[in-house]
Structure 1
Amino acid sequence: MTNPRIGVVGIPGKWSTEVLADAIEQRTGFRAVIDLQRVSLDLASGRLEHDGRDIGELDALIVKKISAEYSPATLDRLELLRMAEARGVRVFSGPEKMRGLINRLDGTLTLHQAGIPMPETLITEDLDSACRAVQRYGEAVFKPLFSTKARGMGVISADQPEEMLRAEVAAFQRDNPMLYLQRRVELPGRDLGMVFVGGHYLGTYARVPQDGASWNTTIHSGGRYEAFTPDASLIDLATRAQAPFGLDFTTVDVAETPDGPIVFEVSAFGGFRGALEGAGIDAAGAYLDHVLSQL
């Protein structure tokens, strides 16, 4: 297909969205950044309108970001992309594939069923069970089912009076009825983002906390990117972790521990900045090469 019309589903003005749109425009001469919050679906006509354009007439959509933060509403936006597919638009990655990673619980269960090592995890609505797990773990990271970049997460320690521990867990549960908690893992000063395009390994970067100031390494919490070269066993682990999801582009979050490597999560979208700044990889360009090869 010569000069396909490829739109970017993302957040206008955000770095990764604009970098991908720039790459597409340079290669094809076409540019369209589509904010799903501004898309309307008219079922009578089947028209998917964004700023006067029917995106159902495009050749393809590359999904960089559906919303700034994950929420159940994010799943509703995936339905709009499903309608685009029904109109014949190629969507990368497909909405059904992304659906399994928007909700943290869904993605966790898929990884567990694939035999991928993860931190010890408890999922429950029972407050007593959650408190007992914190006492077993010593420290637990509580995670919302819908979040990105560690937003909304918190650490609760067993090293406090039981009534205070219970109060902390109850406070978290007020906004998160289904509790998801993991044993806090001591990281070796970094965790890894392992990048895949079309299921093929592209490279790895490390996230390092700012002077050890945070319990997590996310850039949102002040971390920074560095280069890292993994061994074959780490690449194999990340390859197996991303395989069940079948995404066109993703990063796998991996950490090395004294007991062996573990996977924190597979990203529904994956970022470009870490690959570029940490590993010198033009992930946006590599992703576009993959999409063009499929059209």
Structure 2
Amino acid sequence: MNKPKIGVIGTPGKWSTEVLAERLKERTGYSLVIDMKDVELRLDTNQLMYKDVDLAQLDGLIVKKISEVYSPATEDRIHMLSHMENLGIKIFSPAQSMGKLINRLSGTLALQAGNVPMPKTRITESEEQAFASVREFGSAILKPLYSTKARGMEILTENDSDESVKATLAAYRKANSIFYIQQTVELDGRDLGMVFLGGEYLCTYARVGNKDSWNTTINSGGKYELFEPTPELIELGRQAQGCFNLSFTTVDIALTNQGPVVFEVSAFGGFKGALEGCGIDAAAAYADYVLEEVAK
């Protein structure tokens, strides 16, 4: 019996993409890393071509990273994959599930509908309303609708003058169609990444920030550590990821003096936090999961 051929959509040369492709090759002898910018959807023949390979002929596609920077163009790539999925191609995670999380607002609304606790959040196109919300919150973060790893975020504090806040809002509005304003929460210098595979809990790691940055992302000098969550905290993560039906994901959770809150659910999830923080090869676990699913 021929072993299945699974392609990995991601960023060629990047560790998380390449390690997943390598884990699949170890199990099947086949490896293909796909850059979506070079993919062509042929609607006349219902082919999805990458170079000389028709991806529709593979047994499945894993989307590790659909683009380096989120934008409305990223949603176009999701639509291409969704069309092929409708024709019977197995895609991990499902295209509709990923699509909800490319835009921060749609992801937030799904969590809100699922009664998942989040920091206070306001959405508006009005600079006047945005200014009022920032002053009401005291300290707030402006978050672009299309961004990852805290890129493009702006923090405003109660110590900022009215003029400074208004100038920041005006500059932000020129680059963004709408204000997404979230009240800051008091962290103890860390937040949590809770990893789920096929809806089942895998592990939790902490991202511990350095003293020079307001956020804990690894891009800003943070590091990973193991964290042992309570059953109640695991259930919160399960509730959050359950809003999206993802094959593999990481739920970002903060522990505050008012209880835990969810920042966001990742459309793709990360492998490095599970490896460095928990000692778990999540790429290998994901490869095994996908191979089991395509065999059904």
Task: Place the TM-score, normalised by the shorter chain, in its bin.
Answer: over 0.9
Q: Distance in 1 between matches of 2:164 and 2:216?
A: 27
Q: Distance in 1 between matches of 2:10 and 2:247?
A: 16
The corresponding residue for 1:6 is 6
The amino acid of 1:242's aligned partner reads Q
8 Å Cα contact 1:55-1:84 kept in structure 2: no
5 Å matches for 1:115-264?
115-210=115-210, 212-264=211-263
Deviation of 1:37 after TM superposition, in Å, equals 0.5
The corresponding residue for 2:278 is 279
Q: Distance in 2 between matches of 1:144 and 1:76?
A: 18
TM-score by length of 2: 0.97
8 Å Cα contact 2:70-2:146 kept in structure 1: yes
5 Å matches for 1:62-141?
62-141=62-141
Q: Distance in 2 between matches of 1:127 and 1:79?
A: 32
8 Å Cα contact 1:156-1:169 kept in structure 2: no
Q: Which one is further off, 114-123 or 82-91?
A: 82-91
Percent identity reads: 54
8 Å Cα contact 2:46-2:84 kept in structure 1: no
Q: Distance in 2 between matches of 1:250 and 1:40?
A: 27
Deviation of 1:32 after TM superposition, in Å, equals 0.4
8 Å Cα contact 1:36-1:66 kept in structure 2: yes
The amino acid of 1:68's aligned partner reads E
8 Å Cα contact 1:9-1:36 kept in structure 2: yes
Q: Distance in 1 between matches of 2:167 and 2:4?
A: 56
Q: Distance in 1 between matches of 2:199 and 2:64?
A: 17
Task: Tell me whether 1:290 sits opposite 2:279 in the alignment.
Answer: no
Aligned to 1:68, the other structure's residue is in SS state coil
Q: Distance in 2 between matches of 1:182 and 1:85?
A: 35
Deviation of 1:80 after TM superposition, in Å, equals 1.8
Structure 2 gaps of 5+ residues are none
Q: Distance in 2 between matches of 1:179 and 1:34?
A: 34
Task: Tell me whether 1:22 sits opposite 2:22 in the alignment.
Answer: yes
Q: Which one is further off, 152-161 or 264-273?
A: 152-161
Deviation of 1:42 after TM superposition, in Å, equals 1.8
Q: Distance in 2 between matches of 1:160 and 1:294?
A: 52
Deviation of 1:233 after TM superposition, in Å, equals 1.1
Q: Distance in 2 between matches of 1:64 and 1:35?
A: 11
8 Å Cα contact 1:67-1:74 kept in structure 2: yes
Deviation of 1:283 after TM superposition, in Å, equals 0.7
Q: Distance in 1 between matches of 2:198 and 2:141?
A: 32
Deviation of 1:47 after TM superposition, in Å, equals 2.0
Q: Distance in 2 between matches of 1:161 and 1:53?
A: 57
Aligned to 2:195, the other structure's residue is in SS state strand
The total of aligned residue pairs comes to 294
| Moved beyond 3 Å, runs of 4+ | none
Deviation of 1:2 after TM superposition, in Å, equals 4.8
CA deviation vs aligned residue, 1:20-42 (integer Å, no higher than 9, x gap): 00000000000100111000112
Structure 1 gaps of 5+ residues are none
Q: Distance in 2 between matches of 1:4 and 1:92?
A: 15
8 Å Cα contact 1:158-1:165 kept in structure 2: no
Q: Which one is further off, 17-26 or 134-143?
A: 134-143
Q: Distance in 1 between matches of 2:53 and 2:115?
A: 45
Q: Distance in 2 between matches of 1:151 and 1:240?
A: 26
Q: Distance in 2 between matches of 1:250 and 1:33?
A: 20
Deviation of 1:158 after TM superposition, in Å, equals 3.1
Q: Which one is further off, 154-163 or 256-265?
A: 154-163
Deviation of 1:100 after TM superposition, in Å, equals 0.6
